[in-house]
Structure 1
Amino acid sequence: MRALAFAALAGLTLAACEPVTDDGSQPVLDLPQECGAAGYQGLVGQPKAALDSMKFPLGTRVIGPEDAVTADYRPDRLNIEYSRAGLIEKVSCY
């Protein structure tokens, strides 16, 4: 019984750590973007074939809608995601 009470108290304590924003919106995480994704944002909306003649940093992942990828977070890894229609949808670091 004590363990259950302790677990409930711990859960309530952790819930109090949620960041609060003044405007009612969700907090925005300011994660570092070390992979240079900002320089590739012009690719968004382009066909995947546009990537064929380009060179990217070592470790860059080109990710399709059915591709399996690891879930490890690496702020130095460039990720380019394309849609089922073959259009680039997202360029980001993760």
Structure 2
Amino acid sequence: MMKKTLTPFAVACCLALGAAVTGCAGYGQTPAPSAGSAPTGSGSPPASVCNAQPAQFVVGQNSTASVVESARQRSGAQTARILRPGQIITKEYDTQRLNLEVDGTGRILAAKCG
């Protein structure tokens, strides 16, 4: 009986496929509820919806970590991201995300949800 062996190319393909599948495993999952948060009727944690109005105080400031975090907290968003000029970004709308548009020097030009 002849023993079959995998070529290095076949092994590399299997490893790449495994890495790709593993990388997508957590996509689309919601974060665990924080301590003290009341569950909703559907059993999922309450979603914090972004409101950009309270975060407008950052317009004109430098996008330091503390300024970004303060804007995120005031907006009620779960996450915040900085959008630089010419940066490639995802276009999906996320009601729990604060977007801070900055100029080339890092000065915040706009605070928007999405």
TM-score (norm 1): 0.53
* Larger gyration radius, structure 1 or structure 2: 2
Q: How large is the Cα RMSD of the aligned pairs? A: 1.7
- Aligned residue for 2:54, secondary structure, equals helix
Q: 8 Å contact 2:84–2:102 — kept in the other structure?
A: yes
Aligned partners of 2:61 and 2:108 also within 8 Å:
yes
User: How many residues were matched structurally?
Assistant: 59
- One-letter amino acid matched to 1:81: E
| SS at 1:48 equivalent | coil
What amino acid maps onto 1:35 in structure 2? Answer: C
Q: Does 1:76 pair with 2:96?
A: yes
2:111 is paired with a residue of what secondary structure? strand
Structure showing greater relative contact order (alpha-carbon pairs closer than 8 Å, 6 or more residues apart): 1
Separation in 1, partners of 2:100, 2:85? 11
TM-superposed CA distance for 1:85, in Å, is 2.6
Q: Which runs of 5+ in 2 are unaligned?
A: 1-48
Q: Give unmatched runs, 5+ long, in structure 1.
A: 1-33
* Contact 2:78–2:96 (CA under 8 A) maintained in structure 1: no
Following TM superposition, the consecutive aligned residue runs of length 4 or more in structure 1 with deviations greater than 6 angstroms are none
**Which of 51, 63, 84 is the aligned partner of 1:48?**
63
Give CA deviations for 1:42-70 in whole Å, capped at 9, x if unaligned.
10011123xx1242343311111132210
CA shift at 1:80, angstroms? Answer: 0.7
* Identical positions, percent: 31
Shift of 1:37: 1.1
Q: Which residue of 1 aligns with 2:107?
A: 87
TM-score when scaled to structure 2?
0.45
* Matched letter for residue 45 of structure 1: G
